[in-house]
Amino acid sequence: MALLPLLLLLLLRIVASAPASLPATALFVLGDSTASCAATTLPINLSLTSSSGNCLFPSAHRLLPDLLAAKMGLPPPPLISTLNGTAAEVARGVNFAGEDGGRGAIFRLGAVGQQLRLATETLQLLRLEAPTPQDADAAAARAVFILSFGTDAYARVLSRGSEADASAPKHGRRGLARLLADRVARAVEELYEAGARRTAVMGVAPLGCAPRVMWEGLHVVDGRSCVEEANELVQGYNARVAARLAALRPRLPGADIVFCDIYKGIMDIITHPARFGFDETRKACCGLGPFGGTVGCLTKEMVCPTPQRHVWWDLYSPTEVVTSLLANWSWSTPSHSNTTICRPITLEMLTGHMSPMSPSKS
């Protein structure tokens, strides 16, 4: 009778002493404008971040990595550009997103390499300051890395006009999927070599349903469906990066590598809006023209009265309610819903907030 609790306690001890199951105390974020408001593609307000790193209007919605940080019990990771380079500052994580290795770089593929370099330098800095190499390894292994690339690249490819034509990759729109998926998979591998053991890669949203692409594709959509060609392109990337990660897993022992299918999450909402409290799946909450897709969000007067009923905030970004649902579905699988978007494990498991073996959390 008294034995059982003791055994349980021992078991818990053993589980908890495996570094991989300890809750993460640091979150490092790499990505584009889906991961940092400093990376906005909108050519408007240049003072988009407050000193605390929060997005200001018109990007005033919290982004997925920041919502996930909150679930981990961490503050939003500070932007790299606001830091002074001391180890104490970076110990709980850094947001590298938006560092693009040269503004205007074609499709910002350079951003992946640039941010990867900053991330590995940061891990080296922490290593120098750690009491022992073992401590450094353990800290790197416990930290969580989120990679969220692709949305800005596809937004550019999908936008009509001279810019897209001038900068389209030689291999065409379809070539981007391979290029970008290879680059992101390589980044996961390089982070592993630098000591990272917990990595989540975010897929790209169904941009074919985003207000900007809907507006551009007015000639092909009837206003109810999405631009299928655009969604196929994005799905091509998502499938490819998921496959690359699957191929990587057996080669990176001791690592948890997760793919989160943002596309599926948003499509579930667009397909069953009422189930989640939405009634506007096409039109941006803040924008002008058909679907609010001609001109992006510029002033507070443009904001719709009920943002929480809109799937899209502006040209390409979902509203904060949608992002909050995506964060919740990435974190855990609610018993009453079928919406699991991260595989093979949830982010709650990845971050060590829940053991993959335990069936549920109290």
Ligand X SMILES: *[C@@H]1O[C@H](CO)[C@@H](O)[C@H](O)[C@H]1NC(C)=O
Write out the DSSP string of 146-162: EEE-SHHHHHHHHS-SH
Q: Which is nearer to ligand X, 251 or 361 (CB)?
A: 361
CB of 157: closest distance to ligand X in angstroms? 28
What SS3 state is found at 117?
Answer: helix
Contact present, 74 and 81 (Cβ < 8 Å): no
Identify the bridge partners of residue 198 per DSSP, sorted by sequence position: 144, 256
What SS3 state is found at 331?
Answer: helix
CB of 339: closest distance to ligand X in angstroms? 7
- Cα of first residue to Cα of last residue in the chain, in angstroms, is 23
Interface residue list for ligand X (CB under 6 A) = 45, 47, 56-58, 84, 86, 89, 299, 321, 324-325, 328, 337-338
Q: Give the long-range contacts of residues 18-23, CB within 8 A, separation 24 or more.
A: 19/138, 19/141, 19/142, 20/141, 20/197, 20/198, 20/254, 20/256, 20/352, 21/352, 21/355, 22/142, 22/352, 23/72, 23/73, 23/351, 23/352, 23/353
Q: Which is nearer to ligand X, 89 or 129 (CB)?
A: 89
Q: Which is nearer to ligand X, 23 or 57 (CB)?
A: 57
Contact present, 147 and 202 (Cβ < 8 Å): yes
Q: Which is nearer to ligand X, 328 or 333 (CB)?
A: 328
CB of 88: closest distance to ligand X in angstroms? 6
CB of 81: closest distance to ligand X in angstroms? 14
CB of 48: closest distance to ligand X in angstroms? 7
Q: Which is nearer to ligand X, 171 or 275 (CB)?
A: 275
CB of 334: closest distance to ligand X in angstroms? 9
Q: Which is nearer to ligand X, 81 or 337 (CB)?
A: 337
